Amino acid sequence: MSSIRIAAMLFIASSISSLVLADDTPSFHNVKCEGAYQHHLQGICTNGRDAVYWCFTTSLVKTDRNGKVLKKVLVARHHGDLCHADGKLYVAVNLGRFNDPKGNADSWVYVFDADDLSELARHKTPEVFHGAGGIACHGGRFIVVGGLPEGVEVNYAYEYDKQFHFVKRHVIKSGWTRLGIQTAAFADDCWWFGCYGNPAVLLKTDESFQMAGRYKFNCSLGIVGVGGKNLLVAKGSCRKGVGCVGEAVLALPDPDKGLVSGKSAR
């Protein structure tokens, strides 16, 4: 066997091994965001490589994978959950009233450069009737979620194309959740939605938004897939005179509990 053929076979084997490793090993690890901020954490995402993005309602923060701040900017209240796609950050924003039965929200998606956090565009999303609060991207489409009035027994996921033309409103037969849905992510072939509550609620659906589970698990401050079955789930707290802090911990899907934090696939 020639040396060229042997080298080619070794290269292919190495490439396959790398792909398997990338699928089984999380791209990120448990991380605390450096610093304290005026308002509470309301979303996280990553660029899939070397940066974590945190939205503290009025502060948008970029850190490395170890939580060191690389860039931060002040933003209008209320910036919520966010996602990364094609080198840009997309943030669900409501400038009106959340959860209002009469629809007095002012719903938008703001777009930022993922490198320097400069604002690039704003897309009005009036279809998000009770206030845009969360966003995720999958399969070339954006899904925006948000507020919900007291007692409404379903949640809604609003689908947009890449140009933010409205496509469809999906009905999630979840039962009532306090203030609707706060965070969203697609991972492990499922949609994951974080909701407030006492206890907090996690909704799981299939790709077409059919209910697959409702669990007592708190990912209402942020959730994002980070490779294979692994997800990062945000946690946060606020102290008077100190400010608000955030961290993210690894989690894995669990058939009984929805997600189990503090674990990762290896």
251 and 212 Cβ atoms separated by less than 8 Å: no
* Locus of tokens 């919900």: 148
> Which sign does the torsion angle of CA 253, 15, 50, 185 carry?
negative
Helix residue ranges per DSSP H, the chain: 3-24
pLDDT at residue 266, as a whole number: 60
Q: Which residues pair with 191 in a beta bridge?
A: 186, 205
DSSP 63-97: EETT--EEEEEE--S-EEEEEEETTEEEEEEE-S-
Instruction: Tell me the domain boundaries of the chain.
Output: 28-261
Q: Which residues of the chain have pLDDT under 70?
A: 1-25, 266
Name the CA dihedral angle for 65, 67, 68, 73, rounded to a multiple of 10 degrees.
Answer: 100
CA distances for 212 relative to 12, 136, 158, 208, angstroms: 38, 18, 19, 11
Query: Tens digit of pLDDT for each residue in 51-67?
Result: 999 999 999 999 999 99
> Each residue of 232-265: pLDDT tens digit?
999 999 999 999 999 999 999 999 999 999 877 7
Q: What is the pLDDT of residue 26?
A: 78
Instruction: Kindly report the backbone phi and psi dihedral angles of residue 172, in degrees, each rounded to the nearest multiple of 5, phi listed first.
Output: -105, 115
CATH number for the domain whose boundaries are 28-261: 2.115.10.20
Cβ 120 vs Cβ 90: under 8 Å: no
